Structure 1
Amino acid sequence: MNLIIEIIGWVGSVLIVGAFGLNSLGKIASTSIEYQLANIFGGLCFVINTIHHSAYPSAFVNVVWVFIALFAIFRKK
């Protein structure tokens, strides 16, 4: 189970840092659905990983991260 939790954490890292990198390089816009979905799923992966490790302040930050991305998606509509 620990290996699965670690893989989930790494997937979250790749999604969030990848989205940030692509945005910084001008490949995707911060307002794009792809960017926001990467932040949502990456944040959820981090929430799972940080709760497993009892890192509650980090879990809180990532819950907020997910809500911001959700707000950004629904605000566009």
Structure 2
Amino acid sequence: MEIMTDATVTIIGWVGFIFCTTAYLLLNFKVLRFDGTRYQVLNVIGGLGLVISAFYFDDAPNLAANGLWVLIGLFGVFRYSKRLSRLRKSNRVMDAQ
């Protein structure tokens, strides 16, 4: 039994494209910041959709490019969420004083 059809994977790829493109568009309209978690999460979700599509259709260059895109996005999510956590801790200490 085949879990995914060509049509399903194509839709996943298009959704990934929409997420990545929307993130970039919102970044350029200054709705999102490059150092914000929302921008990075949109890129990770979009990149994953494109990776699934590239893997399914055996498109190695696209798989490599979008796999790297996802890793960079995950690094950004981790980095910026860690920074937010430190800021929140710092604010709690200042509020307690």
TM-score (norm 1): 0.94
1:25 corresponds, among 10, 26, 29, to 29
1:34 corresponds, among 38, 41, 45, to 38
Please name the residue that 2:8 is paired with: 4
Q: Spell out the pairing of 1:1-77 with structure 2 (5 A cutoff).
A: 1-76=5-80, 77=82
CA RMSD of aligned residues (A): 0.8
Structure 1 residue 33: Cα displacement: 1.1
Structure 1 residue 17: Cα displacement: 0.2
Q: Which runs of 5+ in 2 are unaligned?
A: 83-97
Q: Which runs of 5+ in 1 are unaligned?
A: none
TM-score (norm 2): 0.76
Q: Which runs of 4+ in 1 moved over 4 A?
A: none
Structure 1 residue 54: Cα displacement: 1.0
Calculate percent identity across the aligned residue pairs: 34
The alignment covers a number of residue pairs equal to 77
Q: Which has the larger radius of gyration?
A: 2
